[in-house]
Amino acid sequence: MTTLGTAAASPGEMDTGRLPVGEARDGSEVGLPVAVINGRHDGKTLFIQAVSDGDELNGLGVVRRLVPQIDPDEIAGEILIVGITNYYGFQVAEHRNPIDDTKLNRAFPGNESGTSSERIAAATFEIASRADLVLDLHQGSTSCMINETRVRCGTRHRLHEECLELARVFGCGYILDLKGPDGQLARAAPDEGIPTIDPELGGAVGWDETSIQKGVKGVFNVLYYYGFLDGDLTVQPQTRAKSFEQYGSPSGGLVRFPFDLGKKVQQGDTLFEITDPFGTLKSRITADSDGIFWRHRRLPQVATGEYVCSVGTKLDEV
Ligand SMILES: [Zn+2]
């Protein structure tokens, strides 16, 4: 029998339930929605977490589509899923947990007697600790971003190769291989010996169908490669960026990009222009380095100093 919160499944079964994480302001019990798929056969344990950032819904779109497609009788091992991690952020469609105004993915490994976010992080980190592999499904918030997978442990970490392999298997086509900030699940779980990646499934307000399909395929790739399901998988070469350059606006106005996300840019290429409301050019910004046009703001209006776009740099193929 495998249990996860109130969910419990014998071999060959799946179940859903709630993982208690305390009480809401009205005193009602709060439980994160969880699913446990207990395979008929022995194997590894995979943990999938979605909506760590409350406005990042593509991962939930993946989970919602994935679970009904999995037959526990055909699975070797166990799949543990938290469908909505940032419970309070999700309720109000905000990135951070509004109870403590914290980004949940800076709170790992958490603290079971700490703040709201630390308690949620501790509860899901305990599940991650039971796993052999972890997928923390994110996206570039509500901005516009390519589909990519992040390796956050840093290239000198003892688990770097395993994390990079997992990212290659997930197979979004692009990998950002750059040590992340403290408190990320993809930083904390490798310290416990668990290969962990952040698939970043595009960027959208609500759901993006292409990104959700990429995410579902990525999870199935992991299930095939690591022996949860019978089948072969050929891992395709991917473009890796080992750094990231962010650009802000030197002036206020309306931004215009000359090309689409995923385009290769060369140092000196125009990245964006700022005009006034009547089309008069105010600024033209060029790329500092060669790279790939990775992410850009969704809304066209910017103030001086406001974030405009990012370029993935230091490219190679892995
Ligand atoms: Zn995120």
Token duo for residue 253: 């106005």
**What pLDDT was estimated at residue 117?**
98
Q: What is the pLDDT of residue 302?
A: 98
pLDDT over 90 at 201, yes or no: yes
Q: What is the DSSP secondary-structure string of 51-107? A: -SSTT--HHHHHHHHHGGG--GGG-EEEEEEES-SSHHHHHTT-SSBTTTTB-GGGS
Per the CB < 8 A criterion, the answer to whether 129 and 192 are in contact is yes
Q: What is the mean pLDDT of residues 158-184?
A: 98
Predicted pLDDT at 232: 86
pLDDT in tens, 282-299: 999 999 999 999 999 999
As a whole number of angstroms, the distance between CA 53 and CA 27 comes to 24
Per-residue confidence at 255, pLDDT binned at 50, 70, 90? very high
Measured CA distances, 11 to 132, 229, 246, 248, 265 (Å): 18, 15, 48, 53, 51
pLDDT tens-digit profile of 300-314?
999 999 999 999 999
User: Is the omega angle on the peptide bond into residue 237 within 30 degrees of 0, that is, cis?
Assistant: no
Six-digit token string for 262: 């995923």
Question: What does the pLDDT average to over 222-235?
Answer: 95
pLDDT tens per residue across span 92-118: 999 999 999 999 999 999 999 999 999
168: CA distance to ligand 1 center in Å? Answer: 19
pLDDT at 130 over 90: yes
Ligand 1 centroid – CA 136 distance (Å):
9
Average pLDDT over residues 117-131: 98
Q: Residue 129: CA atoms inside 13 Å, Cβ hemisphere, count?
A: 12
Q: Would you say residue 195 has pLDDT above 90? A: yes
Percent of the chain residues past pLDDT 90, beyond the cut? 99
Q: How far is the CA of 138 from the centre of ligand 1 (A)?
A: 4
Amino acid at 224: Y
> What is the CA(277)–ligand 1 centre distance, in A?
33
Distance 239 CA to ligand 1 centre (A): 21
CA 284–ligand 1 middle distance (angstroms) = 30
* Percent of the chain's residues with pLDDT above 70: 100
CA angle, 124 as apex, 233 and 152 as ends, to 5°?
55
Contact assessment for residue 112 and residue 125, using Cβ atoms and an 8 Å cutoff: no
Q: How far is the CA of 103 from the centre of ligand 1 (A)?
A: 9
Q: Beta 41-50 vs 133-137: how paired, if at all?
A: parallel
Question: How much is the average pLDDT of 48-65?
Answer: 98
Q: How far is the CA of 121 from the centre of ligand 1 (A)?
A: 14
Ligand 1 centroid to residue 78 C-alpha, Å: 25
CA of 292 to the centre of ligand 1 (A): 20
The pair of structure tokens assigned to 290 is 């060669």
